[in-house]
Structure 1
C-alpha cells in the first residue's frame, strides 16, 4: 500500500477519482474540487494549499481523501481560533495545520472514499500513520477532519482522535405527500405563519424560476454572482468564491445544481443556489439587492422543500447556523469533527474543553428540539 499526496487535482484522472467518490455527495466529486482549484478559490495565496491523499495498492487506486495545508482557519465553519490563540500564548505555531474538509462547505459527507471491498479500517490506519509521520517532517501542528458522516466516527475514535460536536438544522421527509401535508403536521400557529409568509411574497409580485446549472445562461449566472457577493459585502467581507468557480461547476456538474431566481417586475431581485446528491437537497448560497418581506425564507427554504416533496428527496441539508429554521420544520442534528494535535501538552487541555463543550452542545440540541413546530400528544395543534 502506497500513499501519495496530490498537489493538484487536475493531475488525477476524474473518472478514477469519481469511481471512488461517487455522485451521491456532490462536493466530493472531482468536478467540484477541481473547480475550486482551477478558479483560484483555493491554492496560491488563499491559505488553502491542496495536499490530497491518494492510496494505491500496486497500480490500483483504492482510496482518496481531500486535504489542505491551511495557514488560517477561515472558511471552515468549525471554529478553532481559540486553539490557535492558546498555541500563540505558549509561543508555539498552530499554523500550518492540515484540514480534511470541503472548502467553504459545512455539509456532512464522506471524507475518505474507498474502493468497494477493501479494508477501510486498514486504510484509515495507514492514512493516519502517514499524516502523523509527515507532520513531523513538514512542521504541521495538527490534523482536522470536518463534517464526516456519523458512521465514520467509530473509525476516528479507534485512531484516538478527539471528537467535537456541533448542531445544524435539517429537514426530513416524514412521508409527506406534498407541502400541505407537511404543514398539516404542524401546530396551527406555525402552519398559519408559514402560509402567511408565502402569501406575502406572492402579494409583493415576486415569482420564481428554478433552473438546473446547465440550463442557466451566462447572464443569469452573473446576476446570481452579484447577489451572492452582496451577501458578503453587506457584512464588509469578501466572498470566498468567484464567478469562474460557479461557471465551471455549471458546465461540469450542472445537473446536480438548482438555481432559484426571484423575479419582480421582469427583473431579478434575488437568487438561491442549491446542490442535489442522492436523496438530499443541499442549500448553499443566497443573495439579494434589497430586502423583501420573507423573500429569504421562500427562496432558500420553501422553494427547496417544494422540490424535495415533488421529487421524493428525503433530506434538506441547509448548512450552518440559523435558529430561525426551527420554526419552519428544520430539526436539530448533531454534526461532528475529528481532531489530532501533535503536541500532547496541547492535546490534553483541548480534549478537556471538548468534553465540557459536548455537554453544552447536547443541552442546546435538546432545547432546540423542544421548539420544533410539529404537533405532539400534548399539543395537537
Structure 2
C-alpha cells in the first residue's frame, strides 16, 4: 500500500467539513467542524495567544483520511500537560523548551482520540503511523524541544508508546451510571451518613431562593452572554488567571453546538448569579467552567455536580466528567480514573532524565488513585 501523504493545515477552518464528519465521533463537542474553528477564528487560539495551528492531515488519493490536531505552543497554559517543571531540564542542556508541539483540545482537560482516522481508509494503522512520523519529523526539522499528546485515548496511547513516546499519568474523577434510574436511586448506593450530607447540601441550595435551570446552547440568546461570561470570568480573576474565552466566542459556540453545550444557571429574579458551563456528547457530559457573583451555601455542588448527574440520568448519558482536579468530587460519587498523555523527546540525554521521572510518577499516581478510591461514599458490600 502507498504511504499516506501528510500536509499541514494552518487552521481548523481549512479542514473540509465533510472530512470532519468522517474523522470525528458523532456528537463529539470538541473535535468537530465547529469547536476548534470558532476558538481559532475568535482569537482564543492563535499565534498571538501562544497557539499556532499546525494540524496534520493525512490523505489518500487526495481525500482526507486522517487528522492529528496540532499546535505550536509558546507556554504551558491551557493544555493540561502540567510540564512547568520540565523547562529547567532543557535549559540545563543549553536548550529552549518553548516552543513545543501539543496535540489536544485547547483549554479542555478531556481524554479522547487524537489520531483521527476516517473509516474509509484502507489501512488505519498506516494512517496513524504516518501522522506520528510527520509530527516527529516536524520537531526534528524545526529543532523544537518536544511533541506532547494531551489526554489521549487508550488505543492512541498504545500506538504512541509503540512509536517511542513516553507516557505520563494523572487522575481525574468521573461519574458513571450503574443503572441508578434517578438521583434518589444514585443516592441509595451511598452509605447512610454520606447520603444525608448530599441531601443536606441540595436542601441548602434549594432554600437559597434562586431559580435554577438548565438550557442548551441554542436556547440562550446572544444578548445573555455578556452577563454569563462575567460569571465565567470571575473565577479566573479570583485566582489571578486569564479567562481565555470571550463572550462573543461563547455565544458563537452556543449557536453552533446547540445541544452539545449544556448550561446550568442560578438566577436572582432575572439576574444570573451563578453558572456551570458544560458540553456533552452522545453518552457523556463534560463539566468545564464555574462562576458566581456571590457565595451561596452548597450552590457550587448543586450546579457543578448534582444537576449534572440529574441531567445525565434524565438524558440517558452514562458518564459525567466534571473536569480536572478536585478531591471534593470523591464524596459526591465521582470515582478516580487514570488518564494519560504521551511525550516525544528526541534528545536522548534529556529523554534519559525524563523517562525515570515518568516511571516514578506512574507508580505514585496509581497509589494515589487506590487511596482516593478508599474514600468513596458508596456502601460497602457485606
TM category, shorter: over 0.9
- The residue that corresponds to 2:74 in the other structure is 71
Distance (Å, rounded) in 2 between the aligned partners of 1:206 and 1:126: 54
- The residue that corresponds to 1:226 in the other structure is 230
1:80 equivalent to 2:83? Answer: yes
Distance (Å, rounded) in 1 between the aligned partners of 2:83 and 2:342: 12
Distance (Å, rounded) in 2 between the aligned partners of 1:251 and 1:359: 44
- The residue that corresponds to 1:51 in the other structure is 54
Distance (Å, rounded) in 2 between the aligned partners of 1:45 and 1:89: 28
Gaps of 5+ in 1: none
- The residue that corresponds to 2:330 in the other structure is 326
1:159 equivalent to 2:168? Answer: no
Q: Secondary structure at the match of 2:179?
A: coil
1:278 Cα deviation (Å)? 1.8
- The residue that corresponds to 1:181 in the other structure is 185
- The residue that corresponds to 2:347 in the other structure is 343
How many residues matched? 378
Query: C-alpha offsets along residues 204-247 of structure 1, whole Å, 9 cap, x if unaligned?
Result: 11221211101101232222100000000111222121112211
Could you tell me the TM-score, scaled by structure 2's length?
Answer: 0.96
On the 8 A contact 2:67/2:131 being kept in 1, the answer is: no
1:204 equivalent to 2:208? Answer: yes
- The residue that corresponds to 1:29 in the other structure is 32
1:105 Cα deviation (Å)? 0.3
- The residue that corresponds to 2:194 in the other structure is 190
- The residue that corresponds to 2:273 in the other structure is 269
Distance (Å, rounded) in 2 between the aligned partners of 1:209 and 1:15: 35
1:117 Cα deviation (Å)? 4.7
Structure 1 residues 210-249: aligned runs within 5 Å:
210-249=214-253
1:105 equivalent to 2:108? Answer: yes
Query: C-alpha offsets along residues 73-95 of structure 1, whole Å, 9 cap, x if unaligned?
Result: 11122211111121113211111
Q: Secondary structure at the match of 1:109?
A: coil
Task: From the superposition, tell whether residues 24 and 46 of structure 1 become closer, same or farther in structure 2 (CA, over 3 Å).
Answer: same
On the 8 A contact 2:80/2:109 being kept in 1, the answer is: yes
Gaps of 5+ in 2: none
Could you tell me the TM-score, scaled by structure 1's length?
Answer: 0.97
1:14 equivalent to 2:17? Answer: yes
- The residue that corresponds to 1:297 in the other structure is 301
1:22 Cα deviation (Å)? 3.0
Structure 1 residues 350-361: aligned runs within 5 Å:
350-361=354-365
- The residue that corresponds to 2:45 in the other structure is 42
Query: C-alpha offsets along residues 187-210 of structure 1, whole Å, 9 cap, x if unaligned?
Result: 011100000000001111122121
1:346 Cα deviation (Å)? 0.4
Distance (Å, rounded) in 2 between the aligned partners of 1:11 and 1:159: 28
Q: Secondary structure at the match of 2:286?
A: strand
Query: C-alpha offsets along residues 113-163 of structure 1, whole Å, 9 cap, x if unaligned?
Result: 101153222122111222222222212111100111123222112112111
1:315 Cα deviation (Å)? 0.2
On the 8 A contact 2:51/2:73 being kept in 1, the answer is: yes
After TM superposition, which residue ranges in structure 1, 4 or more long, deviate above 4 angstroms? Answer: none
